[in-house]
Amino acid sequence: MSKPDILLFESYEAWDMEPMQSNFTVHLFPSSGICTDLDQDTRNKITAFAFKGHSKLGAEVIDAFPNLALIANYGVGYDTIDIAYASSKGIKVTNTPDVLTNDVADLAIGMLLAFNRGIVGAEAWVRSGKWAADGAYPLQRSLSGTAVGIAGLGRIGRAVAKRLQGFDTDIHYYSRTQKETPGWTYHEDLVDLAKAVDVLVVAVSGGPDTAQIISKEVINAVGADGLLVNIARGSTVDEEALIHSLKANAIRGFASDVFMNEPNIDERFTKLDNVLLQPHQSSATVETRKSMGSLQRDNLLAFFASRPLVTPVN
C-alpha cells in the first residue's frame, strides 16, 4: 500500500526524518519559497503539512494544495498560521503543547538569573584579566525575595511561577481570568501588575489578541529599577517604545528569547548594554525537540488512520 504524501517545511534532524520517511512519502517545500515550483500532480497528492518554522502560512500557500486537510505544526505557538482561513477550508491544525513547557520555563529563569547576576559580563571580566587588574566585578541584583510578575498564566507561565517559588519570590500574575493559585496575587490590569513587581515575565500566547500587549504604558510602569523578560513572542512587545526606554535607562533591562522579524532583529538591540539577547532557543534541547517531532508525527499518524487528533487547535 502506498504511503500518504506530506509536505515538510524546513530541515529536520535524522531522528525525525527517518520515521517521517518510514511512514510517509515526504516532499520538501521548495527552497525558493514558491509553491508552484512543485508540479501540480505533486501538489494534488499532498494532504498534510508537517509545518516548521516562523514564516507565514496563509491563503496563498494553502490554496496551492487543493487536497490539503491537515497542518501539523512543530511547536506550541501557531500564530504564523492563518487558523481562520484554514478552518474556513475545513483544514485541521495541530500543535505540540506541553512537551516544551519545562525547557521554556527553565530558560526564563536562566535569563532572569543571568541578567540579575551579570553572569555574561562577569565571565568576560574574568577572561579579559580585569578581575586581576581592576578587582571585584560591580555589584549585581538578587532574585530571591523579589516581586516577580507573570503576564499570562497558561502552561508556561505557571511553570515559570512554580520555579520562582524556589527563590522565595512574591509572585503576581495577569491573565484573562483569575486562576486557582497558591496565594499568588492576581492583577486584572497589566499596568498595575508592572507597577507592583521588580521583574515582569511575558508568557502570553502569540497572535493578534496579544499584539503589543506589553505597551508603552506597561513598559513605563516597569520603571527604571525594573526588568522585562520575554519568552512569549516578539509581537507581544512594543519594541519601538522598549528601545526608547532602554536607551533612556527608563527601564533597568530587557532579557529576551523572542523578537519581531526574527532572525533579522532590530539592530538597535545589539548596541545596548542593558539587554540579554537569545536566538529563540527556549525549546532547543535534544530531549524537547525529539518530543516535539514525535508529537507532530503522532498527529499525522492519527489523521491518516482516521483517529482523533492528539492535540488539535481548531
Is 238 in the same domain as 263? yes
Which residue in the list 10, 13, 262, 287 is annotated as catalytic? 262
Is 27 noted as a catalytic residue in this protein? Answer: no
**48 strand-pairing partners:** 6, 70
Q: How many domains, the chain?
A: 2
Same domain (yes/no): 272, 130: yes
Same domain, 251 and 120: yes
Residue 299 CA to residue 4 CA, distance in Å, equals 14
Residue 212 maps to a domain = yes
pLDDT of residue 33: 87
pLDDT per residue, tens digit, the chain (314 aa), is 689 999 999 889 999 999 999 999 999 999 898 998 999 999 999 999 999 977 889 999 999 999 999 999 999 888 889 999 999 999 999 999 999 999 999 999 999 999 999 999 999 999 999 999 999 999 999 999 999 999 999 999 999 999 999 999 999 999 999 999 999 999 999 999 999 999 999 999 988 999 999 999 999 999 999 999 999 999 999 999 999 999 999 999 999 999 999 999 999 999 999 999 999 999 999 999 999 999 999 999 999 999 999 999 99
Chain-centroid distance, C-alpha 14: 24
Residue 150 lies in domain: 101-277
pTM (two decimals): 0.90
115 falls within a domain: yes
Asked if residue 225 is part of any domain, the answer here is yes
Same domain, 149 and 30: no
Distance CA 85, CA 10 (A): 22
H-helix segments, the chain: 14-23, 40-45, 59-63, 83-88, 101-116, 119-128, 130-134, 155-165, 190-196, 216-222, 239-247, 286-304
Residue 280: active-site member: yes
SS3 265: coil
CATH value at residue 198: 3.40.50.720
End-to-end CA distance of the chain: 30
Closest CA to 215 of 225, 228, 199: 228
Catalytic residue among 54, 117, 244, 280: 280
Whether residues 244 and 131 fall in one domain:
yes
Catalytic residue from among 155, 172, 233, 252: 233
Residues 109 and 200 in one domain: yes
Domain-located, residue 89 = yes
Q: Three cell numbers at 12?
A: 529536520
Q: Is 187 a catalytic residue?
A: no
Same domain, yes or no: 43 and 189: no
Beta-carbon contacts of residue 136 (< 8 Å; ≥ 6 apart): none
